[in-house]
A = this chain, B = another copy of it.
């Protein structure tokens, strides 16, 4: 019996070995979502207070928005249009003898659902059901269904394709760090310049936008598709592994907002390393053999690499081609720590 780091991928392999396929499902565990026999796309995503969001600087409405965006993005990342959303809500138990307060369970439920509903309205999606339980802290588990005639998978990339990403990388993570620093420093005077250009980063953390319109405009030419939920290093690696291709990223092409570059410079962070591992932008990451315009449905689209025969994820930087070692942050692995096989 050995002790080693247990990763999310490791737990998924355990589950895949334990359950059996029985022909009820066209595409099961392993992509952004499953595809049922009739083409219905289904995804499930869970979020916990203190792990995936922080109530010290987020309102409950923002939590509802942010988590709904993340879950809906998984359906968009299958080239499907979101249809219905289901919420399993675990509310924290009120302290014994708690008095009426605006944060009570009825008000909390209303605020969370206002956030969820505002995202659903934008995505033509409908809250269709759910369950509510009481436990120790706020947890939300979302299921989103969607429709598509032709799902696009992580396994669809082909040698000769170019790799594209919508929007900018790293903005959401930089925004999260700005908010966390502000919350930590709220009793001190602000550092000079800390608010310059930061609001776009903060907005991208609090309210990511699933790229539904861009996906609909592009889907017919897309080969391989996922969203940048774990950071482009991990997400591009998923495409590379599942499509059994070599992907080479171009460091100078990675789209990084000026505010993110300034954020990195102030903290002595290398901006390329930072965005390789920065997750939760929920941008589309896709491969196609066609040329894609620099803007689609009002969203910037950037070629960031190419797909070739071979294996592995590489990055071309300052004239050198190196294997990508930076990984996205494994929330799960870091919290489980070392464990037994």
Given contacts A20-B117, A88-B46, A128-B42, contact A136 B133 (CB under 8 A): no
Q: Which residues of B contact A100 (CB under 8 A)?
A: 1, 3, 339-340
Judge if A10 is at the interface, Cβ distance under 8 Å: yes
In the assembly, what is the distance between CA of A3 and CA of B131, in Å?
23
Q: Does A137 contact B (CB under 8 A)?
A: yes
**Which A100-139 residues have C-beta < 8 A from chain B?**
100-101, 104-107, 109-110, 113-114, 116-117, 120-121, 124-137, 139
A183 within 8 A of B: no
A105 to B336, CA, bound (A): 7
Q: Identify the closest chain B residue to A121 (Cβ).
A: B20
How many A residues face the partner with a CB closer than 8 A?
A: 86
A139, chain B: closest CB distance, angstroms: 6
Q: Most chain-B Cβ atoms within 10 A of its Cβ — which of A83, A89, A126?
A: A126
Report B-chain residues with C-beta under 8 Å of the C-beta of A105: 6, 11, 336, 339
| Chain B residues closer than 8 Å to A44, beta-carbon distance | 86-88, 129-131, 141, 143
Contact of A130 among B29, B107, B136, B332 (CB under 8 A): B29
Q: How many copies does the complex hold?
A: 2
In the complex, which residues of chain B have a beta carbon less than 8 angstroms from the beta carbon of A121? 20, 22
Using a CB-CB cutoff of 8 Å, which residues 204-243 of chain A contact chain B?
Answer: none
Contact, CB under 8 Å: B145 / A84: no
Surface stretch bound by B, among A30-38, A151-159, A167-175, A253-261:
A30-38
Annotate A36-52 by CB proximity to B: 1 below 8 A, 0 otherwise. 11101011111110111
Indicate if the CB atoms of A34 and B106 lie closer than 8 Å.
Answer: no
Chain A 190-207 interface mask (CB, 8 Å, partner B; 1/0) = 000000000000000000
Q: If the complex has contacts A131-B44, A134-B51, are A126 and B28 also in contact, measured as CB distance less than 8 A?
A: yes
A37 / chain B contacts, CB cutoff of 8 Å: 83
A143 to chain B, nearest CB (A): 4
Residue A14 CB within 8 A of the other chain: yes
- Interface with B: A90-98, A271-279, A302-310, A318-326, which one? A90-98
Q: Which residues from chain B contact A42 at a C-beta distance below 8 Å?
A: 42, 84, 86, 128-129, 143, 145
Q: Which of A24, A332, A336 has the most CB of B within 10 A?
A: A24
A130 with B15: in contact, given A106-B340, A139-B139, A337-B94 (CB under 8 Å)?
yes
Q: Which residues of B contact A101 (CB under 8 A)?
A: 340
Indicate whether A331 reaches chain B with its CB closer than 8 angstroms: yes
Query: Given known contacts A24-B128, A36-B145, A46-B141, what 8 new A-B pairs fall within 8 Å (CB)?
Result: A12-B132, A14-B110, A22-B120, A44-B130, A45-B88, A52-B133, A106-B341, A133-B139
Query: Which 7 A-B pairs have CB atoms at the shortest separation, nearest pair first?
Result: A100-B340, A141-B141, A88-B141, A134-B335, A19-B127, A34-B128, A46-B88
* A positions within 8 Å CB-CB of B: 1, 3, 6, 8, 10-12, 14-15, 18-25, 28-29, 33-34, 36-38, 40, 42-48, 50-52, 83-84, 86-91, 93-94, 98, 100-101, 104-107, 109-110, 113-114, 116-117, 120-121, 124-137, 139, 141, 143, 145, 331-332, 335-337, 339-341
